[in-house]
Amino acid sequence: MKNIDSFTHTRGESIYLDDIPTTIGTLYGVVFGSPIAHGKIKSLVLTDAEASEGVVRIFTHLDIPGINQIGGIIPDEPLMAEDEVHFNGMPIAFVVATSTEAATLACKKIKVEIEPLPVITDPRVARANNSLIVPPRTFKIGDSKNAFQDCKYIFEGLAETNGQEHLYIETQGAYALPAENNAIKVYSSTQGPTAVQRHMADVLGIPMHRIEVDVTRLGGGFGGKEDQATSWAVFCGLATFLLKKPVKYALHRMEDMRMTGKRNPYSSDFKIGLDENLKIIAYEAIFHQNAGASADLSPAVLERTLFHTTNTYYVPNVTATAYSCRTNLPPNTAFRGFGGPQGMFVIEAAIAKAAESLGVAADVIQERNLLQTGNELPFGQIVQSEASPCWEKATSLYDVENMKMEIAAFNNTNSVYKKGLSFMPICFGISFTKTPMNQARALVHIYTDGSVNISTGAVEMGQGVNTKMIQVASTIFSIPASLIKLNTTNTYRIANTSPSAASATADLNGRAVEVACNALKERLVEVAADTLKCDKGDIEIKNEGVFVKGELSSMNWKALIMAGYLKRISLSEHGHYATPGLHFDMTKEKGHPFAYHVFGTAITTVTVDCIRGIYDIDSVKLVHDFGSSMNPLIDKGQIEGGLVQGIGWMTMEEIVFDADGRLRSNALSTYKVPDIYSVPKNIDLHFLETDNDNLAIFKSKAVGEPPLMYGIGTFFALRNAIKAFNPNSDVAFAAPMTPEKVLLGLYHSKNG
Amino acid sequence: MTQFILNNTEIKTTLSPGMTMLDFVRYNQHLTGTKIGCREGDCGACTMLIGTLTDGRMKYHAVTSCLMPIGNAHGKHVVTIEGINLKELTLVQESFAQFGATQCGFCTPGFIVSLTGYCLDEKSPSSEKAIDAVNGNICRCTGYKSIEKAAYTVSEKLASRQGVDAISFAVKNNIVPEYFLKIPEKIKLIQANPHIVSTNKKVGGGTDLYVQQHDTIANETIDFLLDQDYLKGITQVGNACEMGASTTVAEMSDDPILNLHFKNLQKYFKLVSSVPIRNMATVAGNFTNASPIGDLTIMFLALDAQLELSDDQQKRNIALRDFYKGYKQLDKNSNEIIEKIRFELPATSDFFNFEKVSKRTHLDIASVNSAILLQMNGDVIETAGLSAGGVGPIPKYLSRSSAFLKGKSVTEKIIMELIELVQEEISPISDARGTEQYKRLLLSQLIKAHFIGFFPLLKKDLLLSNGLIGQ
């Protein structure tokens, strides 16, 4: 089934935040952000700005009727700075004017005097200063310290990954409208409508039931609008609440890039020990997460790093410790993979280091250590593994032996171009690691004409979740998709939602739709049996009709629904789903946090131009564990898109902050994401259909985040190509592998 | 008064002609299908088509409307996604839907408009050209493979166009609505605005000014130079080429004279921005912007281009090599504009090459770029022009290095000596586009690339071996 939005998307008729028709009297807001990264506010003079043409009012923290706090996990993030600023761009004031231009102009007239304090941008410096967001956490299995004594080979090193700008093409924004009795309706480009509702209630000092958050869709999210969409909505809500006027703020790209957090950069140390058969016996890692100025989602990101410390490998002795380090950068946040990729990069670096030191290909070590069903992960979960089936299918289907021979032959005969190959197997846990979040609700109405209307807590942001929701209802009711409409996501219809995140949105909300539809169907079967005077067990609702003992009756779907109405049966159902069997004990760091894991293997080949240091990605060949895909077109799109986003993170996407904490890569001209020429020439994808039971909706495994990590393979393929040109090159395990790093790597010499 | 046709509607507006077409369409006309992604021409979400009446026919090209002042649309046909829509999906839209080439959908209208523009282009279709047509469009969701398939499918359909003009074919094949056929008659009725020479702000294509000054430029009084006839055209006089200052990069790329004399012209221009930017950016704009890294500037420094400046009273000539006085400082007073560019066309025995490396190969600003012209007398270099960008405060003509090459035969040793000299002549700094160390190494490599391209018999291994690196 095609994406249900493809009709309006291709015609430019889909409605995003900035497309909502504005009401007469709408005012426009712009945030005034701190010009420096750290300091004490000595004075704030608004007089000139307030006198600026078109300005209606300028809000500061003093105007907040409730509490000045929007921290999601930890209350450490004020909506607007009070005495101190902690990052460049930290909101200090919110200017509301009759136009965006007037508000922008007024911002330039605000005078703020800030006494500078030392700026920290390096997480290791922050750790040394004991500047941590939360106490460090350690996952442990076996006894790594003693196990190293039994290892034949031990390697240590450093691995670093930079941040990543989400670069949703639609910037952040919100539009708030006043409603009667001090209520507010806010349109928000958010992945987390409930987070917006809760924080707005706190800031305004009113109950959540007065705040209606409505989301039609996002022009991309990728985690960047999970927590970080909240502040813009709260700013608009605050101004609307106090002015009783509609207030809108759609951020300019440069404001968005400057003021919002990104993927957490990590700087990590690893130590890996192997036996003579290249089995990994022991692994230790210390992660320094650059959290930025406040917690945001970093503690949860940190946790997922620990959950994915060993990627898809079985290691009996592991000690992994993670520090969430407070720096003077915008608060870093969720980004597709949520700490998992940062953890997996480190063990892949450790394996690469071991392999090159031992003179074997990394894939020899990778393959020998793949997780098997029944293995225990460092946090105690016993894994149901598809790692080896994916790997084996990939090596045979794509004839890896031949690929390797062709690359060797190419490298022997070419001096200017060199090729490199890498394997990137992945294992990704599905569920929110915070167990209570694994719940969802869906509201299904059937109208008397037989048409169906569904509301869920899922936010459509391109991942196709609305299409999947319709598929669930369409399959259960056995009616065409054209009879079903998905509603906007709205906190008045569906309460207490979890954000659309953690790859779990289709699973959780799809299961809730399933629960609701099954309950409705059960009632309708009774109606049919009653009307047609037969046994319930003989009734089947399919193909828009009612079947009795396999024979189509005179009753069609529409007649059935009308019969139900006349019999005064509820044609509405609110379904609730909570993923069963999940638990995790943080005091022991053990449990069963994931509903299931997703596996896959990517084989990447690249060609490096050894004169210029530029490169092409020739192919990425994948075998991915889909369970049983309910929508191959959408799922394939997630794989390709996730892969390319991961490749971007590993290659050209380079976030640059200067020592003063000022973002230098602050626009699309200085921060580059993949364009159509830079993606792999070929992406081959094989769907590994697995029969094993899983908790996914219709056994169609979650697909949002896992493919991003295939992109890590590009880093190692490039590294291998560099080493084919210059075997002595000591290319650091530091992503992204920009053309600069490639060229310096190609011409690195131990003497130079 | 600015007058143009927006989709199928005639527009007469007295709004500031400096306003961007994007803002006009979204916030004045309330057509919201065109999206805002970056406001600096780097994402393509705001792509529109601009149709110009040329020899009785409409010619369409894609632009990023965030950088286009409405003043540059006078007398033209402006097409947004709304102006493309039919009752059902068009051929391009259907291909996108079929291949799952739309996910969040925010970039999609831009892609649809770009590909529709490709369908209206008379040039013979090819898969490569179909992809080139969307090279200014960024998608963050799909990874582009589904978009490639959609583009190929559209392109295959065009293969059956033989003999039929592109617009009629597009109308018949559900690519654009029928009203496109009536546009030429409507355009003919719009009178040209008189050209006023003044001390006003001058705007050519606007592709840089609207990035740098977007907060203020919309309300300034502007002289629009892009469509002035006297600033257009590429002609050959003997061995010399004369080019109007408002010639766009796309016009240069399509020009038969330039293609004849620069056999890799298409390869070079593919490294310069993107299709929609090339459709607006002018050669004089590139020169006067004075970016130390301007691609065209670097090419024309090597070619020793001469500029004709005019303040409407007096004309004077100056070599491009003498035009740059310091960072963003020109030998030009504010009343003067560049009117013409003149340069010698390379002979068949000459060597010309342009190299550019950036973080992303396409639609990016160079870390370092370089151009070279070698005029040969047998094996001996008679004259050389070598230039480099990103290695100092101005686009750099490497005069000493160029002089060094004069009278030399090309050997590996000479190249290495040249590179050493070049290293003395440049003064790169570390910035967002690379460290000083990288820029120095990269320019050395690009110089090797120039010569390896010209002289295939050079020992590449020797040139690329570690010991020879000018680090």
Contacts with B433 from chain A: Cβ below 8 Å: 670
| A272 and A325 part of one domain | yes
As a whole number of angstroms, the longest Cα–Cα distance in chain A is 92
Contacts with A14 from chain B: Cβ below 8 Å: 105
How confident is the model over B306-328, as a mean pLDDT?
96
Distance from CA of B7 to the nearest CA of A (A): 14
Instruction: Tell me the three state secondary structure of residue A187.
Output: strand
CATH number at residue A186: 3.90.1170.50
Q: Does residue A736 have a cis peptide bond before it, meaning omega lies within 30 degrees of 0?
A: yes
| A457 and A387 part of one domain | no
- The percentage of residues in chain A with a pLDDT greater than 90, rounded to a whole number, is 98
pLDDT of residue A730: 87
Question: For B2-84+181-204+217-222, which CATH class?
Answer: alpha beta
Contacts with A665 from chain B: Cβ below 8 Å: 432
Complete DSSP assignment for A272-337: EEE-TT--EEEEEEEEEEEEESS-TTHHHHHHHHHHTTTTTB--SEEEEEEEEEE-SSSPPB--TT
How confident is the model over A420-426, as a mean pLDDT?
98
> How far, CA to CA in Å, does B111 sit from each of A15, A636, B52, B105?
17, 20, 21, 10
pLDDT of residue A587: 97
Most B-contacting residue of A17, A169, A459, A624 (CB-CB within 10 A), to test interface: A169
Q: Per the CB < 8 Å rule, is B96 touching A6? A: yes
Contacts with B355 from chain A: Cβ below 8 Å: 612
Is the pLDDT at B471 greater than 50? The verdict is no
| A281 and A415 part of one domain | yes
| A278 and A227 part of one domain | no
| A207 and A328 part of one domain | no
What's the mean pLDDT when you consider all of chain A? 97
Q: Per the CB < 8 Å rule, is B137 touching A676? A: yes
Residue A332, in any domain of the structure: yes
How confident is the model over B297-303, as a mean pLDDT?
98
Distance from CA of A573 to the nearest CA of B (A): 29
What fold is seen in the domain B228-468?
A: 3.30.465
Is the pLDDT at B442 greater than 50? The verdict is yes
Closest Cβ opposite residue A3 in set B26, B102, B367? B102
- The percentage of residues in chain B with a pLDDT greater than 70, rounded to a whole number, is 98
Distance from CA of B403 to the nearest CA of A (A): 25
Residue A523, in any domain of the structure: yes
Closest Cβ opposite residue B102 in set A10, A21, A668? A10
pLDDT of residue A642: 98
Contacts with B109 from chain A: Cβ below 8 Å: 9-12
Q: What is the pLDDT of residues B360-378, one digit of tens each?
A: 999 999 999 999 999 999 9
How confident is the model over A179-192, as a mean pLDDT?
97
| A532 and A611 part of one domain | no
* Known catalytic residue at A406: no
Instruction: Tell me the three state secondary structure of residue A344.
Output: helix
Tell me how many domains chain A contains: 3
Q: Are A200 and A237 in contact (CB under 8 A)?
A: yes
pLDDT of residue B197: 64
Q: Are A300 and A307 in contact (CB under 8 A)?
A: no
Residue A158, in any domain of the structure: no
Q: State the DSSP H helix or E strand holding residue A183, giving kind and residue range, or none if neither.
A: strand A183-188
Residue A162, in any domain of the structure: no
Neighbours of B372 (CB within 10 A): 29
Q: Per the CB < 8 Å rule, is B141 touching A641? A: yes
What are the structural domain ranges in chain B?
2-84+181-204+217-222, 91-176, 228-468
* Rounded distance between C-alpha atoms, residue A664 and residue A568, angstroms: 64
Most A-contacting residue of B214, B293, B360 (CB-CB within 10 A), to test interface: B360
Residue A373, in any domain of the structure: yes
Most A-contacting residue of B359, B368, B369, B416 (CB-CB within 10 A), to test interface: B359
Closest Cβ opposite residue B145 in set A13, A634, A683? A683
| A524 and A616 part of one domain | no
Contacts with B449 from chain A: Cβ below 8 Å: 611-612
Q: Per the CB < 8 Å rule, is A170 touching B104? A: yes
In total, the C-beta contacts within 8 angstroms joining chain A to chain B are 247
Q: Are A597 and A385 in contact (CB under 8 A)?
A: yes
Residues 6+ apart with CB under 8 A from B327: B290, B292, B393, B394
pLDDT of residue B432: 86
Is the pLDDT at B171 greater than 70? The verdict is yes
Closest Cβ opposite residue A10 in set B96, B211, B359? B96
Instruction: Tell me the three state secondary structure of residue B384.
Output: strand
Contacts with A676 from chain B: Cβ below 8 Å: 131, 134-135, 137, 139, 144, 147-148
Is the pLDDT at B281 greater than 90? The verdict is yes
**Could you tell me the pLDDT band of residue A748, with boundaries at 50, 70 and 90?**
confident
Q: Per the CB < 8 Å rule, is A610 touching B442? A: no
| A424 and A447 part of one domain | no
The alpha-carbon radius of gyration of chain B (Å, integer) is: 23
Q: What is the pLDDT of residues A673-692, one digit of tens each?
A: 999 999 999 999 999 988 88
Contacts with B80 from chain A: Cβ below 8 Å: 12
ipTM over 0.90: yes
Q: Are B275 and B250 in contact (CB under 8 A)?
A: yes
| A50 and A194 part of one domain | yes
Closest Cβ opposite residue B461 in set A101, A415, A738? A415
How confident is the model over A545-568, as a mean pLDDT?
98
* Rounded distance between C-alpha atoms, residue A405 and residue A411, angstroms: 10
How confident is the model over A321-347, as a mean pLDDT?
98
Contacts with A668 from chain B: Cβ below 8 Å: 37-38, 40, 42-43, 138
Q: Per the CB < 8 Å rule, is A462 touching B466? A: no
Distance from CA of A343 to the nearest CA of B (A): 23
pLDDT of residue B470: 41
Most A-contacting residue of B39, B40, B47, B145 (CB-CB within 10 A), to test interface: B145
| A49 and A87 part of one domain | yes
User: Where are the alpha helices (H) located in B213-349, listed in sequence order?
Assistant: 249-254, 256-261, 265-270, 275-278, 283-289, 295-302
Q: Per the CB < 8 Å rule, is B33 touching A12? A: yes
What fold is seen in the domain B91-176?
A: DNA polymerase; domain 1 (1.10.150)
Distance from CA of A166 to the nearest CA of B (A): 9
How confident is the model over A1-10, as a mean pLDDT?
96
Helix axes A340-358 and A712-725, enclosed angle (nearest 10): 30
Q: Per the CB < 8 Å rule, is A676 touching B135? A: yes
Closest Cβ opposite residue A611 in set B30, B211, B448? B448
pLDDT of residue B215: 85
The boundaries of the domain holding residue A539 are 439-578
Domain boundary among A531, A551, A578: A578
Q: Which of A165, A212, A367, A705 is catalytic?
A: A705
| A667 and A602 part of one domain | yes
* Rounded distance between C-alpha atoms, residue B257 and residue B254, angstroms: 9
Residue A583, in any domain of the structure: no
Closest Cβ opposite residue B97 in set A7, A168, A641? A7
Residue A424, in any domain of the structure: yes
How confident is the model over B183-204, as a mean pLDDT?
86
Q: What is the pLDDT of residues A358-406, one digit of tens each?
A: 999 999 999 999 999 999 999 999 999 999 999 999 999 999 999 999 9
pLDDT of residue B196: 67
Distance from CA of A500 to the nearest CA of B (A): 14
HEC sequence for A379-393: CCCECCCCHHHHHHH
Most A-contacting residue of B35, B139, B140 (CB-CB within 10 A), to test interface: B140
Closest Cβ opposite residue B360 in set A18, A21, A675? A675
CATH number at residue A610: 3.30.365.10
Domain boundary among A528, A549, A578: A578
Q: Per the CB < 8 Å rule, is B89 touching A218? A: no
Q: Are A283 and A270 in contact (CB under 8 A)?
A: yes
Q: Per the CB < 8 Å rule, is A12 touching B109? A: yes
| A635 and A557 part of one domain | no
> How far, CA to CA in Å, does B329 sit from each of B16, B304, B334?
29, 19, 11
Residue A646, in any domain of the structure: yes
Q: What is the pLDDT of residues A726-740, one digit of tens each?
A: 998 989 999 999 999
Contacts with B452 from chain A: Cβ below 8 Å: 416, 611
